[in-house]
Structure 1
Amino acid sequence: MQGNAPMPESSPTGQVADAPAGNWVDRYAPAIARPYLRLSRADRPIGTWLLLLPCWWGLTLAMLHDQAPRWEDVWIAFGCGIGAWLMRGAGCTWNDITDRHIDGSVARTRSRPIPSGQVSVAQAVIWMVTQALFALMILLSFNTAAITLGVVALLPVAIYPFAKRFTWWPQVFLGLAFNWGALLVWTAHSGSLGWPAVILYLAGICWTIFYDTIYAHQDKEDDALIGVKSTALLFGDDTARWLKYFLAGTVTLMALAVIAAMLPGASMLALVVALAGPGLMGWHMAWQLRGFDHMDNERMLRLFRSNRNTGLIPLIPLLLALLV
């Protein structure tokens, strides 16, 4: 899809325009559940991965820090998976409630459940609260400090949908919300927040600005017409240069987080293995930049979705470092 080519309208079955063809929601979910699962973006799982992966980074880094992995960490990792699915769903539902008038004016989003009439606002609110309550049940299984951080996380989640109305940098607010798990899960393992987790959180924010700027280029023409802001509009034709800065920030900050977590107690071999994580992540981000073409919407969507692999890559060396 090139340039201003229109996105398809909502199909008679209610499929969302930018959902992958043949996704499990459209093929297998009961018809009554499909609009709600679409509200939660269950037909587009990449967002759940992008919310989950910083949680797993934080957990792995915390285990490297104290060299004390325990069986409880298995539940933390599993609980994060369920919680990420639920909170991503609740956050997307909130986003669609607040953006319902904007979404109806944007080609890519007018087929979403609320603007297309599949779900009412009242039904969406009930669905959002239901998901959040189930996520709360998981959060309450963690320690008190982690629970407190989980409650505070609602603030950036609540603010994010409005950010594009008052700043050219809404991707920063998305980063604040999507990477909170790095702080929360470090604390769930360690019992208190540490500086390595904060540095890792900043690395995640840089990564979020990188991938969500790529994503935002799909909507830049519509966004400009209706008056909402994004880094894609701010950077324009200079986007590739800006993305290089956020690539460098991601890799540098993640490497600093690893060093801060592992020194002085780790062996040199373990440190080298762990530092391969941010290095390989940076290589994958550089690969995305080589394929970057902000005039090709289909390519932008493919590159954005490839960030699941970007976030998985550093986990492998980090986990291997635990064994060294």
Structure 2
Amino acid sequence: MTEAPETPGGQVADAVRGNWVDRLAPEATRPYLRLSRADRPIGTWLLLLPCWWGLALAIASSGRTPTLYDFWIAVGCAIGAFLMRGAGCTWNDITDRDFDGAVARTASRPIPSGQVSVKGAMIWLVLQALMAFGILLTLNLPTIVLGIVSLVPVCIYPFAKRVTWWPQVFLGLAFNWGALLAWTAHTGSLSLAPVLLYIAGIAWTLFYDTIYAHQDREDDALIGIKSTARLFGENTKSWLRGFMIATLALMGAAVLVALVPGGNFLALVAALAGVWAMGWHLSWQLVRLDIDDADLCLRLFRSNRDAGLIPALFFAVAILV
């Protein structure tokens, strides 16, 4: 097992150097913000982007001009993604505290490093969840129900890596729920299009989180943690190519189901162009990937913020044309 890197001032090993938490946050709040991964915003982006996909596609499919309520859905999703990503990470670190202490990259996290007690983490978890629930209550009843149900995959995910080689599927179930939630917040009900978009997001999560998991492949093997990175090994690129194709095919199908009935050809072209452009970004990641280069794996994982922003921006254009 590799030796944990030194992290002065309580910094977490895999956080971006000079992040706002380490530089600007009051010292007393830093351990809790680190527990919520506020110093590593990529997770918030990956939770938020499916929300924006679902909302933008729902608005484009309705053919109506966005309202102030739609603007609030977009903003509320952003705040909620920050809070629920923080709550989910807090829960993950509580359940994984013994494993994290045995892995070099995660030993500096607040609980295994002694910055935050388990009791303190539980209180912080509840506070974040309550604030997120307050935002959820501003939306319609079907969305509130969906938001409550989303807690099931969030609670299950930390335990999945102990019993299955496919914990990334459970992460995908949790991280892409926003596609269903934001669509329902706009329309008041679910339909085939957001379900296809949701499954596309799960395939995308399998793509990016397998890349991420290759950082810990050796340590995970030593402590018995399962992952798709360990399962696929040297065949990783072939599997990732399959996940990429599934992501694009399902997202393209969601666009067709949502927009073809409206008969707006320009909106359809704009949305499909976003799917196509995302495909180029994922292909670029595949070409660059070296599963034995942990630093490169982390950089490629983080680049999925841009990959997910691409369809979100094109879906927004589809609203305007």
TM-score range, shorter chain: over 0.9
- Residue 208 of structure 1 corresponds to 205
Matching residue of 1:78: 75
Matching of residue 233 in structure 1 with residue 191 in structure 2: no
The equivalences for 1:1-324 within 5 A come to 6-11=3-8, 13-68=9-64, 69-324=66-321
* 2:14 partner amino acid: D
Mapped to 2, the partners of 1:226 and 1:10 lie a distance apart of: 23
Does the 8 A contact of 1:156 with 1:173 survive in 2? yes
- Amino acid of the structure 2 residue aligned with 1:95: N
CA distance in 1, matches of 2:40, 2:181: 25
- Displacement of 1:250 in angstroms is 0.5
Which residues of structure 2 form unaligned runs of 5+? none
The one-letter code sitting in structure 2 at the alignment partner of 1:148 is V
Quick check: 108-117 or 265-274, which moved more?
A: 265-274
Q: 1:306 corresponds to which letter in structure 2? A: S
Measured against aligned partners, the alpha-carbon deviations of 1:293-321 in whole angstroms (never above 9, x if no partner) come to 00100000000000000000112221111
What is the DSSP-based 3-state SS (H/G/I as helix, E as strand, rest coil) of the residue aligned with 2:184? Answer: helix
**Aligned partner letter, 2:167:** P
* CA positional deviation for 1:109: 0.2
The structure whose residues are more often helix, as a share, is: 2
Q: How many residues align?
A: 320
Question: TM-score, normalised to structure 1's length?
Answer: 0.97
For residues 136 and 63 of structure 2, the distance between their equivalents in structure 1, rounded to whole angstroms, comes to 24
* Equivalent-residue separation in structure 2 for 1:135 and 1:219 (angstroms): 31
Which letter maps to 1:184? L
Q: Give 1:197 shift.
A: 0.3
Give 1:7 deviation, angstroms: 4.8
Q: Report percent identity of matched pairs.
A: 67
Shift of 1:266: 2.5
Root-mean-square deviation (CA, aligned residues, Å) is 1.0
Mapped to 2, the partners of 1:314 and 1:204 lie a distance apart of 12
Q: Is the 8 A contact 1:153 1:177 kept in 2?
A: yes
CA contact (8 A) 2:2 2:104 kept: no
Shift of 1:274: 1.1
Q: CA deviation at 1:263?
A: 1.6
* Contact 1:100 1:115 survives alignment (8 Å): yes
1:268 deviation in Å? 2.0
Q: Deviations over 1:85-110 (max 9, x none)?
A: 00000000000000000000000000
Structure 1 unaligned residues grouped into runs of 5+? none
Q: Deviations over 1:202-237 (max 9, x none)?
A: 000000010000000000100000001000000001
Q: Supply the distance in 1 between the matched residues of 2:246 and 2:200 (Cα, whole angstroms).
A: 7
